[in-house]
Structures are given as structure tokens and as C-alpha cells.
Amino acid sequence: MEPDNPLLDDFVLELTGRARPRVCFLPTATSNVATYLSTFYPAFARRAEADHLDLFARDGRDVRAFLLAQDVVYVGGGNTANMLAIWRLHGLDAILRECWRGGVVLAGLSAGAICWFGHGVTDSFGPDLAPFDGGLGLLAGSFCPHYDGEAIRRPRFHELIRNGLPAGWAADDGAALHFSGTDLAEAVSSRPTARAYRVELRDGDVAETPLPTRYLGG
């Protein structure tokens, strides 16, 4: 989202502990793969062994072996529901779970962040935002991206939690949640004012708790 601000990308690469990590980009959530790749490679190719996996143009490689050999799997944004349906058709849901258990850093933005949770808020079915319960479930609860970037996101997330969506997490554009296993390690940001939040139902009403968020440029 921020081609001139690599702070979050740098943070993801640093989590690997490698000088030049292997990074695979999954553009499955978008129908415009070429445009996405034109931003991914300039962002990562200078600092990592960058590659991508396009499930619409299979090249015969062993997908499981390829993904397990990566240090980072980075998932792009787009249509969350479509992406997960395609992953399941190709067996990527099981492979990504295996990557997670094997210590591969799993990261992404928008749809690429929602997918790791069991539930979320999505525009996959239209602009009004709908609850989504088809995530991989590596992380419990729900997730809402673009918390400050789209005016409808915060009130809609609150409404859905009030109506039964599991409690979860939210992140402003430029903020990220770092989980180690299933435990939240910290919230970080590429912008001084970006924040992450815990959002849950308490005594019948929605409570939003800002998380301590470390600005990566500080």
C-alpha cells in the first residue's frame, strides 16, 4: 500500500533473521495479477529472493515443496472469499497451515490479513461489508483491516460484533499485528498515528481498546 514507505516490508523481512530471505507472493485475491506483480517485485527483489505463485497459470512446480522452502509467504489484497475458495481447491489451505507450523512467516494486507483468522469483515460480496467466517482459522476470532481508511469499516465491525461476530482485532492502514504462534507479540506501524485495536463485546456493548503500537520509524 505504501511504495515509498518500506517500513512494514522491512519488518516482515527482519522476522526471518536472514540477510536475503526467500519471499513468495500470492496474488490469488485479485484478477489483475500483472499489476500486483509490478509493485511486488520492485518492493522486494532488491532485498530478497522474490518469487510468486499464480494459481491461474500453473507451471507444474511442486507447490508444497516450493512454499515450504520459503522464508515468507506474503498474500495480497482483493476478494477474500474467492481467494480462499481457490486455495482450498488447490490444497493451499493445508499447505499454508504446514508452513505456519514449520516457522514460515505468513503475512499480508487486507484479504491477505483477514485470511489467517477464522472470521472477518469483507467486501467480497459487495460494498456494504459482510461478515466472513471462511478464514483459515490459524488465529482465533475476527479481523478488520482498513479501520481508518474506509469510513464504513469501524461502525460496521462494531455492528457485526454486536450481532454475534466473534471478538477480534482491527488495524488502521499502516498498522500491523505481529503474532508469534497464536499469541500477539506486538502491534507495529509505518505511520506515526496508525494504531491497532482489540474489539470485543463487554456487558452487551462493543468495547474498543487501542493497543500499544510501536512506530517503526521512531
Report, as residue numbers or ranges, the catalytic residues. Answer: 110, 146
**Cβ–Cβ < 8 Å for 84, 108:** no
Identify the sign of the CA torsion 173, 12, 196, 140.
positive
What are the cell numbers at 159? 455492528
Q: Is 163 helix (H, G, I), strand (E, B) or coil?
A: coil
Phi, psi (rounded to 5 degrees) for 29? -75, -10
In which order are the strands placed within the sheet that holds 175-180? Answer: 175-180, 183-189, 213-215
The β-bridge relationship of strands 183-189 and 175-180 is: antiparallel
Burial 113-150 (b: 16+ CB within 10 A, else e): bbbbbbbbbbbbeeeebebbebbbebbebbbbbbbbee
With 0-12 CB in 10 A as exposed, 13-18 as middle and 19+ as buried, what is 64? middle
